[in-house]
Structure 1
Amino acid sequence: MAIITISREMGTGAFQIAREVAKRLKYTLVDGSKIAELAPQYGLDGENLKRVDEKPPVYITAEDRLHAAHLNTIEIILLEFARKGNVIIYGRGAQDLLVGLKSILRIRFIAPFEDRVESFSEREWLDPDLSRELIRKSDHQRGGFIHFYFNRDWADPLGYDMVFNTSNMSQSAAIESIVAAAKDPRLKNDEVQARALIDDMILCKRIETELLKKQTIENLHFKITVAGEVVTLSGHVHSEAEKREALNVVANLQGVARVDDDLQVVNYKPYKE
């Protein structure tokens, strides 16, 4: 069940490479268009998808919590594709979302800023100054998304197995390198263990999503641990009512056989400036 993840800077030509690799390997390419196609089946409309896709939540208002819940929905879509294997996941922090899996090839595409500006301007028929602004904003947004959501430096090479500078390497050379790497036997090993791990990730995301949607639970200051059909909630809540609500939400989700309660009630007096 080989999985390839693609991290890219805007203007590197990464999509064309990913599309050709998917064609060569006969893998499914999961990009923004594929997610948009499937999102309505998960209760996520196009407007909300555009608002939250690869943008960090902040968990302050009810709207922010809904933002985070929508991000979880996108991740569930990605995880369900990953479970099937033979897939290329384009962007969306997939290399960090799938941390712990062995059957994954993590690719990153980079290039000098001005080279990307020139390439993007030519491809999209845009003024170079506008391209600079768009690329700068894209870098900031995508880097911020990874830093906020996964607590990792987007540019850290240790987060990837292969890094391609598309200013110095042709698309054909990059394609051949990725196709060869995808045939590494390690990517086909431990399929049963990998699927079990992804199943746990999916259930964890489903639980977190439902809890985020519950306005009666003020904050999510607790950890969700999934092992098969057993879920453990640990950390703290602000009242017994919140605790009962959280446990009830989890217990009623499909796929949950048992909920272990390790939640602590911590009372506090709200501070007002």
Structure 2
Amino acid sequence: MAVITISREPGAFGEEIAARLAGHLGFMLVDKARLGEFWHEVDPDMASLKNVDERIPQDDLEMDSETEATIRLLPELIVQLAEEHDLVVIGRGAQGLFRNCPGTLHVKIAASRQFRVRNIKSSEAMSSREARRWARDLESQRARYLRFLYNLNWADPNLYDLTLQMDRLSIDQALNLICFAAEEMQIQQVPQNQIIENMVPESGEDRKNGRFANFSEEEFARFLEFYGIPYAYEPDSFPLEIDEQGKAIEAFTPDFYLPEQDLYIELTTMKQSLVTRKNRKVRKLRKLYPEINIRIFYQRDFYRLMAKYGLLAPKPDLSADDQCTE
């Protein structure tokens, strides 16, 4: 299992190199088209993806809950793809998403501004002035995206294992260098799931309010109580793996059970890096217990529901309060 991230300056042939690399290695290419296909399974409204794909509002104060939830859902989709495929990921903050993970190679494709403006003029049919402005705007958007999600500086050289200066390289030469680095680093030798396991640390957070594990659970319970919907909080725990002595070594406890609907609800409204393990456990639960009816509530769904019914309180710092408590 392996992930190669391609961060690129506009006009430096990053997209072309990534596409060639994925085809050469037999990896899945994660680009705008691939994310669009995968996104459609989550939300048929493709406009919501277009508005947040490598984009952050200029002023964070202008961001509503639904926009923020959509932004944070994108990395989760990429992680889900990484659970089952070797990936070449173009941009999307992937150098931050998979930072310090085994089985990864982080590449930056760069070039002089003159080189990039010339390429943009040719490919986008722009004047030199338009090309410079277009490149500058894209650079600003991508830098803001990485800073918002991971508090990282796009220009930090420590984020990259390999930086290629395309003024002096052909696309074929760049491709060969990346393939050589991937082979030397033996990124494809990393055991399956090790990348993901290193992304999702166990949480040692204790519950702070005595009943619910985090703010989102408390808000969801408030919604249920407001509309008189009967529920039970964490009533059942389902064994997912049993050792030789018959003891459960892995189990899953859904957040809520709605008896009138015979439905379990699992909230995944915390930051992206803590969601993936929960999704994997839900899939395992469905396989082992097909009679169990369970629905996952993503952050986007949660805030949309709360806003619709006017029950959305001011959001706390989710990085501190919303921790995974499986």
The structure-2 alpha-carbon separation of the partners of 1:209 and 1:127, relative to structure 1 and needing over 3 Å to count, comes to: same
- Between structures 1 and 2, the one with greater helix share: 1
| CA distance in 1 between partners of 2:199 and 2:45 (Å) | 25
Q: Tell me how far 1:12 sits from its aligned partner.
A: 0.3
Distance apart, 1:187 and its partner CA: 4.3
Q: CA deviation at 1:172?
A: 1.0
Identity of aligned residues (%): 25
What's the secondary structure of 2:10's corresponding residue? Answer: coil
Change beyond 3 A, Cα 1:81–1:198? farther
* 1:108-139 deviation digits (Å, cap 9, x = unpaired): 11111121101111122222221111111111
Q: Let me know the Cα RMSD of the aligned residues.
A: 2.3
Partners of 1:48 and 1:163 in 2: how far apart?
32
Partner residue of 2:195? 194
Larger Cα-atom Rg: 2
SS in 2 for 1:191: coil
Residues of 2 paired with 1:218 and 1:210: CA distance? 17
After alignment, is 27-36 or 99-108 more displaced? 99-108
In 2, are the aligned partners of 1:204 and 1:225 still within 8 Å (CA)? Answer: no
Give the C-alpha shift of residue 195 in structure 1: 3.4
Three-state SS of the structure 1 residue aligned to 2:126 is coil
The count of corresponding residues between Structure 1 and Structure 2 is: 227
Relative distance call for 1:210 and 1:204 in structure 2 (3 A) is farther
Cα separation, 1, equivalents of 2:134 and 2:175: 26
Once the two structures are superposed, the pairs formed by residues 1-273 of structure 1 within 5 Å of their partners are: 1-43=1-43, 45-56=45-56, 60=61, 64-183=64-183, 184-197=185-198, 200-202=274-276, 208-209=299-300, 212-213=303-304, 214-215=306-307, 216-222=312-318, 223=320, 224-226=322-324, 231=325, 258=326
Single out whichever of 182-191 and 97-106 deviates more from structure 2: 182-191
Equivalent pair of 1:44/1:73 in contact (CA under 8 Å): no
Query: 1:190: how far off?
Result: 4.1
Contact 2:7 2:90 (C-alpha < 8 Å) held by counterparts: yes
Cα distance change, pair 221–25 in 1 and its aligned pair in 2 (3 A): same
Q: Structure 1: state its 5+ residue gaps.
A: 232-257, 259-273
TM-score (ref. length: structure 2):
0.64
2-structure distance, mates of 1:162, 1:6: 10
Conservation of the 8 A alpha-carbon contact between 1:2 and 1:182: no
- Residue aligned with 1:169, SS: coil
Q: Describe the shift of the 1:165–1:56 C-alpha distance in structure 2 as closer, same or farther (beyond 3 A).
A: same
Q: Is the 8 A contact 1:143 1:154 kept in 2?
A: yes
- When residues 29 and 127 of structure 1 are mapped into structure 2, their CA distance, relative to the original with a 3 A threshold, is same
The Cα of 1:207 is off from its aligned counterpart by 5.8
